[in-house]
Amino acid sequence: MAFLSWGRWLFCSLLMLLLVGCGWQLQTVRPMPPELLPLYLELADTQSVFSRVLLQNLELAGIEMTRDRSRARSVLIVTQDLSSRQVSSVSARNKPQQYQIDYRVEYRFDRHDEATNTQTSLQPVNIIPTQLLSVSRAMSYDINLALAKEREAESVEELLAQQITQQVMRRLNSVAISQSPVH
């Protein structure tokens, strides 16, 4: 019995040593440079799953946000936020057997401060051009489990929104790196 607990302790210690030794570390979001803050978020659909997940991620990343667009130094504009479900396979009795859940988001990122504009033009500077992100997942369907399948579809939709949000956050992170002054 004591050998098992000692063996587990040894295994966990060796695993930790291996992870630290190979350079593994948790992926974190780098803070955006102050020149891009505060951020204004313009959403196509403020009630969508993607909008909710994106707001949560921005808050968790500690990104300063504003509700006043005129105060914002940068603007994340989500122009399209759509989810859909389509039947992708039917049985011999013409009943759905499988369907596909798609999630599409289109966004761009602009900078809005005086440092990026000329004296004659106060147009925003586009930092990330319009990007279209799309993810999809196929799901089986059983009429006898309709309620459970509906809940599963909602969970999958949330997962797809999280995947797209992670892509947006990584892209914003790369902008934060490229916009940061080199020391």
pLDDT at 27: 53
pLDDT at 120: 44
The CA distance from 61 to 58, in Å, is 5
Half-sphere exposure of 105 (CA within 13 A, CB side): 27
Give the 3-state secondary structure of residue 92. coil
Query: For residue 155, which of 105, 106, 101, 104 has the smallest C-alpha distance?
Result: 101
Neighbours of 144 (CB within 10 A): 7
Residue-wise pLDDT for 105-152, tens only, equals 999 999 985 554 444 445 789 999 999 999 999 998 888 888 888 999
pLDDT at 154: 92
More confident of the two residues 177 and 182: 177
Residue-wise pLDDT for 32-54, tens only, equals 677 788 999 999 999 999 999 99
- Write down the CATH superfamily of domain 32-179: Lipoprotein like domain (3.30.160.150)
